[in-house]
Each structure stands twice: as structure tokens, then as C-alpha cells.
């Protein structure tokens, strides 16, 4: 049993850093009676960070190339989060681009901001 446990422990220690590539930050808020949500990932597509936004659970995904925290081309539909909650999202948006090959099949890891 010890012969199996040691390799498994070493394997677990070797791979936790790779999950950080797909870290994301999320903020939720209420506005005009609607439930709003914005999630931005460290993952990038063609140099722009991937972003998910929803209004009352109806979610869309796209890119945010100008870091206004709104899906590009959907500025009239979605709203940016309130300024006091936006800082963690902006840090990810302006942060370094992730290597696209390192996250192809890895789910997002969520960091929730209230």
C-alpha cells in the first residue's frame, strides 16, 4: 500500500501549479431588479481575455480585448461591474496572457468576489 501512496502523493504535488493557468475571478451584483454576473479568466484567445457574463442566469461568453469588463460587441447588452468590485477582474484582464495549449481541456477555477 505504501508503494502506491508515495507515487500518488508525488504526482499530486507535481501538478497543482498547472491549474492556476485557468484561474478566474467572478463578481455578482444586483441592478435594477436583475441579477448580474461577470467572470473573467486568465485564459486568452488571440491575445484577449475570455469573459463570461450573465443577466438572471442567461449567460454569454466572449473576449474582452479592451478590458472594459464587458464582452466585446455586447456593450449595449451587458454592464460593467460596480467599480469597487472590479479590481480583481481588472488585474486578471491586464495580467499576462495564458498559453492556450496549457488549458484546452482544463475547467475554470473560480475565485468569487462578493
What are the Cα distances from residue 27, in Å, to 38, 84, 103, 111?
A: 6, 11, 22, 9
Q: What pLDDT does 111 receive?
A: 55
Domain boundaries, the chain: 23-102
- Higher pLDDT residue, 12 or 52? 52
Q: Over 70: is that where the pLDDT of 29 sits?
A: yes
* Structure confidence by residue, pLDDT tens digits, 71-113: 999 999 999 988 766 678 888 888 887 655 444 444 555 555 5
Q: How many CB atoms lie within 10 A of CB 97?
A: 13
Q: Over 80: is that where the pLDDT of 52 sits?
A: yes
Q: Which long-range contacts (CB under 8 A, 24 or more apart) does 11-15 make?
A: none
What rounded mean pLDDT belongs to the chain?
75
* Structure confidence by residue, pLDDT tens digits, 57-71: 999 999 999 999 999
Amino acid at each position: 500500500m505504501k508503494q502506491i501512496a508515495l507515487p500518488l502523493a508525488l504526482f499530486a504535488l507535481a501538478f497543482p501549479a498547472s491549474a492556476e493557468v485557468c484561474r478566474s475571478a467572478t463578481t455578482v451584483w444586483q441592478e435594477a431588479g436583475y441579477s448580474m454576473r461577470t467572470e473573467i479568466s486568465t485564459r486568452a484567445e488571440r491575445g484577449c481575455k475570455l469573459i463570461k457574463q450573465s443577466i438572471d442566469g442567461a449567460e454569454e461568453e466572449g473576449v474582452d480585448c479592451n478590458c472594459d469588463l464587458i464582452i466585446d460587441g455586447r456593450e449595449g447588452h451587458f454592464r460593467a461591474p460596480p467599480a469597487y468590485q472590479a479590481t480583481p477582474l481588472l488585474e486578471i484582464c491586464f495580467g499576462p496572457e495564458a498559453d492556450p495549449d496549457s488549458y484546452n481541456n482544463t475547467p475554470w477555477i473560480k475565485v468569487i468576489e462578493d
